[in-house]
Amino acid sequence: MTAMQLKKDYAGRDFISLLDYSAADLQYFLEVADYLKAEHKAGRPTPYLQGKTMGLIFEKSSTRTRVSFEAGIYYLGGQGLFLSSHDLQIGRGEPIKDTARVLSRFLNGLMIRTFSHDIVLELAQYANIPVINGLTDLLHPCQVLADLQTIREHKGKLAGLKMAFIGDGNNMAHSLMNGGARMGMQVAVACPEGYRPDAAVVAAAEAAAAESGGSVQVLADPLAAAAGADVIYTDVWASMGQEAEKAEREKVFGGVYQVNDELMAAANPGAMVLHCLPAHRGEEITEAVFEAHPEIFDEAENRLYAQMAVMALLLA
C-alpha cells in the first residue's frame, strides 16, 4: 500500500490553539489521524519523522500526554526527548526566549505542557521550529483534536451535533468551544457562577460558530445544557494546580455539576460520554455512567493518533 503523501501546507507552523486553523485544516488533520490509526492497527510503518527529533518539555506532570507523545514520535520513526523543568536551566531562571533559541539549534520541534499560556506564546515567538501546546491553563488543543476524532468515529460527523460540557470553565471547556465552534457543532457549557469560561475565549468561539453555522452557549443549568445533546463531556472540578481549592470547589459543584443518570436522561438517546481523564468517580461523573461508556478509552487512545497527525504535518 502506498503511503499517504502529506500536504506541506503546515510544515513549520505552531499548534497552539484550534482557532489558529480553519475548519478545512482541522478536517485534514483528522483525516491524517484516521489514516495513521489505520496504518498502526495494521502494523504498517509510518516513518514521517525519520531522522527528526522532538523535545517534550513538562512543567506539569502527565500520564496520557507524555506516553502518547513519546510513543507517537517512535511510531513516526523519530526520537523524542523528555525534558523535565527540573532538569532544564529554565527551572533555574533561564529566560524562555533563550531556551527557545538554544533548543531550536538542536531539535526539529517542541511540545510543552505547562501552566501559563504566555510561556507557550513566548516559546513559539522565539523558537524557529514548530511549537505544540500540550496543555496550558488556558487551552488543551491536542486533547480536543482527539475528542473530535472520537466523535467522528462514533457519530459519523461533527457539524450539527450538540456537545454539552458540564463542570468548570477551564482549559477543556475553552478548547471544546473552540474546536466545536470551528467544526459547526452546537456547544453548550454549564458552569456555576464564578467558574465560567474566559470571556475573550467565549467571544472568539462565538465568532467561529457564526462562520461555521454552529453555536456556543454558556449556561448555569447542567440539565438545560444536556438537553438534546449527542455528546456529554466533563472534567475534574479542580485541575492540576488548584489542589488548595478542592474542598471549596466540591461545595460549589457537588450534587449539581455531575454527569449522572438524571443528566443522561436529558440528552439524546445514544448520547456518548467523553472525559479527558483522570476521572474522579463519584464527583464529576458517577461510577455507573463512566463504566457504561467505553468510548472514553477510545478517546484516550486517540490522543496518540491525533498528536501523531499534528507532529507529522508540522515537522515532516
Give me the numbers of helices (H) and strands (E) for the chain, helices first please: 12, 9
The span from the CA of 179 to the CA of 204, in Å, is 11
Q: Which residues are catalytic?
A: 113, 140, 143, 235, 276, 303
Cell reading at 294: 467505553
Which fold does the domain 18-139+303-315 belong to in CATH?
A: Rossmann fold (3.40.50)
Burial class (CB in 10 A: 0-12, 13-18, 19+), 2: exposed
The mean pLDDT of 121-136, rounded to a whole number, is 98
CB atoms inside a 10 Å sphere around CB 61? 10
Contact 150, 298 (CB under 8 A): yes
Question: Across all residues in the chain, what is the average pLDDT?
Answer: 96
Task: Look up residue 143 and give its amino acid.
Answer: Q
Q: In 3D, which of 79, 121, 75 has the Cα closest to residue 100?
A: 121
Q: What are the domain boundaries of the chain?
A: 18-139+303-315, 142-299
3.30.2420.10, 3.40.50.1370, 3.30.160.100, 3.30.310.50: which CATH number matches 142-299?
A: 3.40.50.1370
Which range among 89-93, 97-101, 116-120, 246-250 shows the weakest confidence by mean pLDDT? 89-93
The C-alpha cell 526527548 sits at: 81
**Listed residue (62, 65, 107, 81) closest to 315, CA to CA:** 107
Left if phi > 0, otherwise alpha if psi is -120 to 50, otherwise beta: which for 53? Answer: beta
Strands 215-219 and 109-113: unpaired
Estimate to the nearest angstrom the gap between the alpha carbon of 222 and the chain centroid: 22
Give the contacts of 209 (CB within 8 A, at least 6 positions apart): 181, 184, 187, 215, 216
Contact (CB, 8 A) for 16 and 121: yes
pLDDT reported for residue 1: 53
Bond preceding residue 192 cis, omega within 30 of 0: no
Place of cell 475573550: 200
Per-residue pLDDT averaged across 287-298, rounded? 98
Q: Using the predicted structure, report yes or no on whether residue 174 has a pLDDT greater than 60.
A: yes
pTM over 0.95: yes
Q: What is the pLDDT of residue 91?
A: 62
Q: Contact 288/15 with Cβ under 8 angstroms?
A: no
Handedness of CA 173, 175, 176, 181 (dihedral sign): positive
Supply the angle between the helices 23-41 and 295-315 in degrees, to the nearest 10. 110
The predicted model gives 231-239 an average pLDDT of 93
Task: Confirm if 310 and 145 have CB atoms less than 8 A apart.
Answer: yes
**For position 244, what pLDDT does the model report?**
83
Contacts of 94 (CB under 8 A, 6+ apart): 88
Spatial distance between the Cα atoms of 101 and 84, rounded to a whole number of angstroms: 18
Residues 56-115 have pLDDT tens digits of: 999 988 999 999 999 999 999 999 999 987 878 776 788 999 999 999 999 999 999 999
